[in-house]
């Protein structure tokens, strides 16, 4: 693992990342939607942690939202981190609890872990409207069919109501954690994978009093690059049948506000401690010879191209507040993200509370 602070260690010729991004984007778009694994690795049984507890908070627009909380081992309430899920975030448990033991490790570092549950395909942002297609109201089709495309007209989260995840995380949940559990509402950390990685940087950029640290693993950090909106469109259709146009109009202020490449100057001005990672897309010994691995390779390579573009952008602005990690092996899967979280924890621990 290479880890550098605020500079690029790449030897690739100028223009190489752009050419690679176009090639990888094409590969991703051609990957059959039925096997897409954006935001998730291999399916695993829910690993319910009895030490964590449900923490319900009402959202004015989304209704009651469940968050899983695991307290710090030493009982402090000053050190807090939010762990964000990927595009296939289920309504039962947060993927970090289902797929990894990262929460337990964070708690052993005396960090309180906040794991919001749900938000499939939401990018943890406030949407323009409930998700629908062609003006057809949600709820007219079947749900949970196993195919995102056939779930497009179903009801459910973000369809029967408008997603307002940014407001929830930075207002409703933030103050409920303070008032009911005594958690420090300032200088928290936030990290996530894929969709959640991009969202973590967005939350830190616009809410610097709440988040002093942000971590992104395999995030899409250059979403205004050519073809990226359509790649996200296909991914969101597959991950629950959501319409990207309901989230934010194309290329308008709302969309640009979500793009880490665009808001990079804010992260520098805020002096946010940032940890950004993307693997090579080459499988490890843990990644089996199957189509899920092939898809995970393409998705991680696209995330790597986005991350490298973000790295160049930050360097051009003189930002020295970012640690970069580019492992030689790893695909878009939970084993990669768990390993990256372990590498990040010392940096996180030193920059929160």
Helix, strand and coil percent figures for the chain, each rounded to 5? 40, 15, 45
Which pLDDT does position 292 carry in this prediction? 86
Band (pLDDT 50/70/90 cuts) for residue 152 is confident
- The predicted-structure confidence for 94-147, as pLDDT tens digits, reads as follows 999 999 999 999 999 999 999 999 999 999 999 999 999 988 887 776 555 555
Average pLDDT over residues 45-54: 83
- Cα–Cα distance, 128 to 191 (Å, whole number): 24
Band (pLDDT 50/70/90 cuts) for residue 10 is very low
Which pLDDT does position 148 carry in this prediction? 65
The secondary structure of residue 12, as a DSSP letter, is P
Q: Is the per-residue pLDDT at 15 higher than 60?
A: no
Residue with tokens 């940087």: 201
The secondary structure of residue 149, as a DSSP letter, is G
Which pLDDT does position 65 carry in this prediction? 98
Q: What is the pTM of this model?
A: 0.87
- Cα–Cα distance, 224 to 249 (Å, whole number): 12
Q: Higher-confidence residue: 27 or 234?
A: 234
Task: At 84, give phi and psi (nearest 5°).
Answer: -100, 145
- Cα–Cα distance, 15 to 327 (Å, whole number): 22
Which DSSP helix (H) or strand (E) runs through 235?
helix 228-238
83 touches 102 (CB < 8 A): yes
Assign residue 180 a region: left if phi > 0, alpha if psi is -120 to 50, beta otherwise?
alpha
Which pLDDT does position 142 carry in this prediction? 59
Q: Is the per-residue pLDDT at 246 higher than 80?
A: yes
Q: Angle at the Cα of 61 (from 58 to 64), degrees rounded to 5? A: 25
Which pLDDT does position 144 carry in this prediction? 55
Which pLDDT does position 38 carry in this prediction? 39
Q: Is the per-residue pLDDT at 297 higher than 60?
A: yes
- Cα–Cα distance, 116 to 124 (Å, whole number): 10
154, 212, 332, 340: the active-site residue: 332
Q: Higher-confidence residue: 155 or 327?
A: 327
Lowest mean per-residue pLDDT among 20-29, 74-83, 207-216: 20-29
Which pLDDT does position 30 carry in this prediction? 36
Q: Does the active-site annotation cover 300? A: yes
Band (pLDDT 50/70/90 cuts) for residue 251 is confident
Average pLDDT over residues 160-168: 97
97, 99, 132, 300: the active-site residue: 300
The secondary structure of residue 194, as a DSSP letter, is T
Which pLDDT does position 143 carry in this prediction? 56
Looking only at the bridges linking them, the beta strands covering 188-193 and 80-84 are: parallel
User: Strand, coil or helix: what is 324?
Assistant: strand
Q: Which long-range contacts (CB under 8 A, 24 or more apart) does 9-17 make?
A: 9/324, 9/326, 10/308, 17/305, 17/308, 17/309, 17/312
Average pLDDT over residues 60-88: 98
Give the residue from 33, 61, 22 showing the smallest Cα distance to 239: 33
The secondary structure of residue 33, as a DSSP letter, is G
- Cα–Cα distance, 321 to 7 (Å, whole number): 10
Q: Higher-confidence residue: 109 or 20?
A: 109
216 touches 275 (CB < 8 A): yes
Residue with tokens 């640290």: 213
194, 198, 218, 246: the active-site residue: 194
Q: Is the per-residue pLDDT at 244 higher than 80?
A: yes
Q: Does the active-site annotation cover 12? A: no
- Cα–Cα distance, 235 to 182 (Å, whole number): 38
Mean pLDDT of the chain: 87
* Other CB atoms within 10 A of residue 209 CB: 11
197 touches 99 (CB < 8 A): no
Which pLDDT does position 21 carry in this prediction? 43
Give the residue from 271, 311, 255 showing the smallest Cα distance to 123: 255
- The predicted-structure confidence for 176-213, as pLDDT tens digits, reads as follows 999 999 999 999 999 999 999 999 999 999 999 999 99
Listed in sequence order, the residues at least 6 apart from 180 whose beta carbon sits closer than 8 Å to its beta carbon are 55
- Cα–Cα distance, 3 to 343 (Å, whole number): 9
């Amino acid at each position: 693992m290479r880890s550098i602070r605020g500079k690029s260690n790449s030897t690739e010729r100028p223009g190489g990342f752009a050419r690679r991004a176009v090639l990888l984007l094409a590969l991703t778009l051609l990957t059959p939607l039925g096997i897409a694994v954006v935001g998730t690795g291999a399916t695993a049984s829910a690993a319910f942690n009895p030490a964590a507890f449900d923490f319900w908070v009402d959202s004015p627009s989304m209704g009651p939202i469940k968050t899983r909380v695991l307290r710090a081992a030493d009982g402090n309430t000053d050190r807090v981190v939010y762990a964000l899920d990927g595009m296939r975030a289920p309504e039962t448990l947060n993927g970090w609890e289902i797929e990894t033991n990262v929460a337990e490790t964070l708690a052993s570092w005396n960090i309180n872990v906040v794991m919001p549950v749900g938000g499939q395909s939401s990018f943890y942002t406030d949407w323009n409207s409930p998700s629908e297609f062609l003006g057809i109201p949600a709820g007219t089709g079947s749900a949970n069919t196993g195919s995102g495309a056939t779930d497009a007209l179903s009801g459910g989260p973000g369809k029967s109501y408008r997603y307002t995840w940014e407001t929830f995380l930075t207002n409703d949940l933030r103050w409920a954690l303070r008032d009911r559990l005594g958690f420090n509402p300032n200088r928290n950390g936030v990290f996530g994978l894929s969709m959640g990685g991009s969202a973590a940087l967005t939350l830190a950029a616009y809410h610097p009093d709440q988040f002093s640290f942000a971590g992104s693993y395999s995030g899409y950090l250059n979403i205004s690059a050519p073809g990226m909106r359509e790649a996200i469109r296909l991914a969101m259709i597959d991950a629950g049948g959501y319409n990207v146009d309901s989230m934010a109009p194309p290329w308008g202020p709302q969309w640009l506000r979500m793009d880490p490449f665009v808001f990079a100057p804010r992260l520098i001005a805020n002096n946010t401690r940032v940890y950004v990672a993307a693997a090579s897309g080459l499988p490890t010994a843990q990644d089996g010879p199957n189509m899920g691995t092939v898809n995970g390779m393409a998705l991680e390579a696209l995330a790597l191209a986005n991350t490298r573009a973000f790295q160049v952008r930050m360097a051009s602005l003189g930002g020295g507040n970012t640690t970069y990690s580019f492992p030689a092996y790893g695909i878009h899967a939970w084993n990669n993200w768990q390993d990256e979280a372990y590498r990040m924890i010392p940096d996180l621990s030193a920059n929160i509370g």
